[in-house]
Amino acid sequence: MNRDMERYKEFSRRALIIGAGQAAIFAVLAGRLGFLQVVEQEKFQMLSDRNRISMRLVAAGRGEIMDRFGVPLAINTQNFRSFVVPEQTDDVEKTLEKLAHFIPVTEEDKQEVLVQMTRHRRFTPLLVKENLTWDDMARVEMNLPDLPGVSIDEGEIRSYPFGAATSHIIGYVGRVSQSELTDDPVMTLPGFRIGKNGVEKSFDETLRGTAGQVQAEVNVVGREIRELNRADPKKGHRLTLTLDADLQMQCQEMLARERSASAVVMDAHNGEVYALCSHPGFDPNLFSRGIPADVWEELLADDTHPLTNKAVSGQYPPGSTFKMVTSLAALEAGIGPGFKVFCPGYYMLGNHKFHCWKQGGHGYVDAVQALAQSCDCYYYEVGKRIGVDAIAKMARRLGFGDRLGFEIPNEGPGLIPDRAWKQRRRGEAWQQGETLNTAIGQGHVLATPLQLATMTARLVNGGRAVKPLLVRTIEEEGSQLKNWPSLGLDPNHLAIVMRGMNAVVNEARGTAAGARIREEGYSMAGKTGTAQVRAITAAQRAAGVKNEDLPWRQRHHALFVGYGPVENPRYVVSVVVEHGVGGSKAAAPLARDILLATQKRDPQKIHTVDEAIEAAMKEKARIEKTAPGPARPPVKTNKRTSGG
């Protein structure tokens, strides 16, 4: 019996130990369960919600772009689109064939849908066609019972009311390419578009706005069941440009006289750009809607480069339009305005002869007469005296040799050479003959039309370091206008240069005397330029071949810079006619017409929105009714390459 009692006691101790162990384990489990249910409740609720709640982005409306008076330059219009849900039709290809009876669905469209089917779940709506008309949408809606899986919705598409007239400034939008993808998830939305060029690209994030979000309940396979919550997107900011749409269209039409040309109209005092034109242009609406392959190939193959903004990206030898730079550098170096040089039609440097554009020469000329008659020999001599570094220093002060920070992409930097540049670039010493070429805007010198307009503005505004400005205001950020510092130029020197520019146009011996403004109450001054593209050989010259006889792409460029009115300069213009042969015959008349139109329009004054829109629409209608004229025929001009 004692043995039984001992066994019982031993069993009881073991049962107690086991029971205590079980109780401890249960207590741990209960504590853990309580921790998970109470303390970690929010965490696991969130994970659970993620398994049943889908977050969907909603693209924001793109901000509008307006001209200085409120005329719309880029807006959003209705975009009717058709979709197909593969899950809701037994045969997608058959459904697309039926759909093609009611709207224009091409083979490329069908193939794109089939490709998208391999990348998305079957319940995902796939875009079939966009930019449908109201009639297209109505036909599809009426036949939906026979089109299983097809639906119609309304979105937005970017529209450019003035088409080619503003194409190079405003740019265009297009679908996001693989190389353009960023961390922003909105860029992966079907059909989402971003700025590809012009203002649309430079201010893409400002215009794009902030995407909204939709919380939707989904089932285990990800299909949306119902919408739970919505945060509406915030539309992009509106941009107001300094541009005047009416003047822009007038200038663009004037440039259409030529095969390829560009022009900039700018306020000399505050830098506002009123017109910035590059001809030929293109229709940016084609890119919004999807440009046909044949049209794209045609644009790429065009030797006038319609996709290039020549006013900003084009880089040309400035020719004689650069002579104001050399004049100011010489005056600052102590060569007075009365200093005279005799021009027999050539200039000797050692045994090498540098020609003046006027074969018989100009005789004795001083600073004002040299500008008026564009005497190369005068600038050869003063250039030799002051050296290339002094010329380069003045050129950079006037806006050459580097980008100006303009608000649209692909601005050309131009080129201002000096001794250090050549040593750095080529490892060679600078030659004195190169200084002579630089002094007349030839040799290595390159400038954009935008830089030429900036130089002219700085000359006539009293020597302030104005820069071209395109964006006037950004919604919610206010005005972008600036105060410009002084360049420290001597006012007397500027006055001498302006006297010379006035004589170019308004004196009988001036190289642009034939292009003066003759209408009472309006005036202009300026400077002609001719930039050599390819020199005529001695054999061609002996055979009587002139520059205008060469193939178009081998002819000289024609340039003109000017300002008006003469008494109180406000507006400046630069014009470049590619392969236009001579500045006095091709570029100066264009600049005259542009400056006259600008002074009549007077865009610095306030015009009401209604007045501005009415004027712009009338101009647009007039231009559309007028068939474009033929390209300008070759013109006679002087033989030399740096004269007027």
> Which residues are catalytic, by number?
320
Q: How far apart are CA 97 and CA 109, in angstroms?
A: 11
Q: How far apart are CA 412 and CA 425, in angstroms?
A: 19
Measured at the alpha carbon of residue 57, what is the angle toward residues 55 and 60, in degrees to the nearest 5? 155
Q: Are 271 and 469 in contact (CB under 8 A)?
A: yes
Max Cα-Cα span within the chain = 150
If DSSP codes are grouped into helix, strand and coil, which group holds residue 501? helix
Q: Are 410 and 310 in contact (CB under 8 A)?
A: no
C-alpha closest to that of 282 among 312, 257, 252: 252
Q: Are 307 and 196 in contact (CB under 8 A)?
A: no
* Token pair recorded at residue 142: 């009426």
In terms of Cβ atoms closer than 10 Å to its own Cβ (0-12, 13-18, 19+), residue 212 is middle
Q: Is the peptide bond before 306 cis (omega within 30 degrees of 0)?
A: no
Q: How far is CA 474 from CA 72, 470, 599, in A?
A: 15, 11, 27
Strand duo 150-159 + 471-474: pairing: unpaired
Q: How far apart are CA 434 and CA 383, in angstroms?
A: 10
Strands (E), 186-298: 193-195, 212-218, 224-231, 239-241, 261-267, 273-279
Element (H, E) at 252: helix 245-255
Cβ neighbour number for residue 7 with a 10 Å cutoff: 10
Cβ neighbour number for residue 333 with a 10 Å cutoff: 14
The dihedrals phi and psi of 264, each to the nearest 5 degrees, come to: -130, 130
Q: Please, how many CA atoms are within 13 Å of residue 339, restricted to the half-sphere of its CB?
A: 15
Amino acid identity, position 360: G
* DSSP designation for 570: -
Q: How far is CA 301 from CA 19, 84, 198, 298, in A?
A: 91, 37, 21, 5
Q: How far apart are CA 34 and CA 40, in angstroms?
A: 9
Amino acid identity, position 485: P
User: What's CA 14's distance to the chain center, in Å?
Assistant: 89
- Only one residue has tokens 């610095």, namely 604
Q: Are 279 and 258 in contact (CB under 8 A)?
A: yes
User: What's CA 224's distance to the chain center, in Å?
Assistant: 42
C-alpha closest to that of 275 among 575, 639, 508, 499: 575
Q: Please, how many CA atoms are within 13 Å of residue 153, restricted to the half-sphere of its CB?
A: 9
Q: How far apart are CA 375 and CA 390, in angstroms?
A: 20
DSSP string, 314-332: --B--GGGGHHHHHHHHHH
Cβ neighbour number for residue 39 with a 10 Å cutoff: 9
C-alpha closest to that of 382 among 395, 392, 394, 367: 367
